[in-house]
Amino acid sequence: MERRAKDERIRQLQQVCRERGLALTAQRRAILRAVLDAQDHPTADRVHATLARRHVRVSRATVYRTLESLARLGLVSKACHPGSAVRYDRRIDRHHHLVCLRCDRVMDFSDERLDALPVPDTRRVGFVVEDLRVQLRGICRECREQEDEK
């Protein structure tokens, strides 16, 4: 993520904290920064590892708690994932995912036509839609190459 956008997000964090009377701690800033720097959809544990590599000492519990808060505040999002750990996503704008059915990897994918998709009516089930994402499910290049070898 570019410097600009990252700083902007940190500023959002400041603002949201002030609005809600939450404390803006060094840990929160560091954890948000680590997610923004990740290319993929890191787990809480990977965020913790990234911070450790940077010699930022934050306890695991705090990482778990903080990521949950950041997601609730809308400063990061949760990636829906076929795997067995919560994944966080620095992207909070509309975008889409390629989901590999072999290796369970999830990659970002952008497409204007998908972005323009009108939100269907879900009032009949009492659900209020805020955004949508399309999952394209299939087989990634690496998995196909592996299977071709056989």
Per CB under 7 A, does 73 bind DNA?
no
User: Does the footprint of a second copy cover residue 81 (CB under 8 A)?
Assistant: yes
Q: Which is nearer to a second copy, 25 or 122 (CB)?
A: 122
Specify the stretch interacting with DNA by CB under 7 A; choose among 17-25, 89-97, 107-115, 122-130: 17-25
* Among 1, 10, 16, 24, contact with DNA (rule: CB under 7 A): 24
CB 35 within 8 A of CB 76: yes
129: tokens are 């839609």
DSSP single-letter state for residue 43:
B
By the rule CB under 7 A, 45 interacts with DNA: yes
